[in-house]
Amino acid sequence: MAQKRPFATNEQIEALARVYPTPFYLYDEAGIRRTAEALTSAFSWAPSFREYFAVKATPNPAIISILAEYGCGVDCSSACELLMAEALGISGEQIMFCSNDTPAGEFAHAGRLGATIILDDETHIDALLAEQGALPERVGLRFNPGGDFDFANGIFGRPEEAKFGLTEDQLLEAATRLRELGVEQIGLHALLASNTLTNEYYPALARRLFRLAVRLQAECGIRIAFVDLSGGVGIDYRPEDEPNDIAAIGAGVRRAYEEVLVPAGLDDVAIFTELGRFMTGPHALLITRVIHTKETYRNYLGVDACASNLMRPMLYGAYHHITVLGREDEPACVRYDVTGMLCENSDKLAVDRLLPRAQVGDLLAIHDVGAHGHSMGYTYNGRLRSAEVLLDADGSHRLIRRAETPLDYFATLDVLPIGSDLAALVRRSEGEPKGKPARP
């Protein structure tokens, strides 16, 4: 079985853990750059190719700025994500706004920034018109084919159960209406599966969208400007997973392009992606320390991270590989539940995981947390979200998000009891003695 090793050495991680209190996220700049290069190269054949990084995966300006060096724009779906783009000076064609159940005012915000807007329903045409006064020259439509989205070896996903997108008939109607309202160019978008581990998902999706593009152009007489394949390309979370080959994926999309679009005279349709997980997922570790061990009906490793720092295991039963640093060569002979400290039994970062016997004080590296990791965090139980640290290619490091403090937790409470000086309370609690955790 393939081994999963942290991208940093144990010495590097131990040194970082002396600078930054655990838990913290550690991102790998070199890895992010490698993936950005591989993606760009896989789609270099495509007219006007652009990756719009799905901001929700890792909404950190440092990460977005690295990707921007490779021409990546941003895929936003909320006002705060638009504000982040705005604050970074990202605008116009570099922003894709792909929302659903869109709150009032967000189409106007996206329009002011010159974003390309993807509509999730026919009724959003009126919302867009009302908020922007006029429709932009180019509008995207999100497609939901219904049923199962399957291929020779299985199913990718079940679009029928997804809340997103328009049916094919609705999409044809919407395109006709947009043309009547003066829109000159249409784009097509679909996200029909999540975390796919096959090189066939994007090519199959592309073929489906390309056929729809040909039909739209013929029946509605409107120019198809782009096809946005969105996200959904997965990563090898488990050591036994076969990683996707982005070059093969790009080549598969190219074949579909040449077989479907080009013969129909559609040889200048731009190809866009909105990958999140694939871009940054493998390129971060959550570094956490064992603070308790416990044996009852099961064996527990209690760590100083919890679902506030990484929610995917609790939410989806997701697998994240774990390395006990310094014990790589010891046999994985103990079946552990690795738990956080939330008063919730589901707060487990791993369940039934065979690991080397670990001790209080050991550092664990939780792998592949670079997308939908920190950003999903929450503050239930008064637990705070951790810092994010970037490891540069030359081994230096920098803090790209500080850890939350109790003052952040209380920041939205305008009404505190009379006389409570929160900052003083926090200072006092921080000054309280912290004994070393007991060694077993």
From candidates 116, 230, 308, 323, binder to ligand PLP by CB under 6 A: 230
- Which stretch, 11-19, 229-237, 317-325, 427-435, contacts ligand PLP (CB under 6 A)? 229-237
Whose Cβ is closer to ligand PLP: residue 205's or residue 363's? Answer: 205
From candidates 231, 252, 282, 373, binder to ligand PLP by CB under 6 A: 231
From candidates 132, 194, 346, 375, binder to ligand PLP by CB under 6 A: 194
- Point out the residue whose Cβ comes nearest to ligand PLP: 231
312 binds ligand PLP per the rule CB under 6 A: no
Instruction: Kindly give the pairing relationship between strand 50-54 and strand 73-76.
Output: parallel
Counting residues that bind ligand PLP (by CB under 6 A) gives 16
Whose Cβ is closer to ligand PLP: residue 24's or residue 278's? Answer: 278
* C-alpha span between 3 and 293 (Å, rounded): 26
193 binds ligand PLP per the rule CB under 6 A: no
Interface characters, 89-108, with ligand PLP (x: CB under 6 A): ---------x----------
Give yes or no for a contact between 308 and 383, defined as CB atoms under 8 angstroms apart. Answer: yes
CA distances (Å), origin 348, targets 131, 156, 255, 317, 337: 44, 28, 44, 9, 7
Report, in Å, the least distance between residue 190 CB and ligand PLP. 9
DSSP H or E stretch at residue 203:
helix 201-220
- CA 177, 261, 220 angle in degrees (round to 5)? 15
Report, in Å, the least distance between residue 344 CB and ligand PLP. 25
* C-alpha span between 401 and 389 (Å, rounded): 7
Report, in Å, the least distance between residue 110 CB and ligand PLP. 13
* C-alpha span between 340 and 308 (Å, rounded): 9
Whose Cβ is closer to ligand PLP: residue 24's or residue 52's? Answer: 52
Report, in Å, the least distance between residue 165 CB and ligand PLP. 10
54 binds ligand PLP per the rule CB under 6 A: yes
* C-alpha span between 228 and 114 (Å, rounded): 17
273 DSSP β-pair partners: 51
Report, in Å, the least distance between residue 97 CB and ligand PLP. 10
Give yes or no for a contact between 94 and 48, defined as CB atoms under 8 angstroms apart. Answer: no
362 binds ligand PLP per the rule CB under 6 A: no
From candidates 274, 304, 347, 368, binder to ligand PLP by CB under 6 A: 274
361 φψ region: left (φ > 0), alpha (ψ -120 to 50), beta (else): left
CB atoms near residue 403 (< 10 Å): 17
CB atoms near residue 100 (< 10 Å): 15
56 binds ligand PLP per the rule CB under 6 A: yes
Contacts of 187 (CB under 8 A, 6+ apart): 116, 118, 138, 139, 140, 141, 224, 225, 226, 227, 228, 272
Whose Cβ is closer to ligand PLP: residue 17's or residue 74's? Answer: 74
Residue 412 has φ and ψ, to the nearest 5°, of -90, 0
- Active site members: 343
Residues of the shown chain interacting with ligand PLP in the complex, contacts defined by CB under 6 A: 54, 56-57, 75, 98, 191, 194, 230-232, 274-278, 371
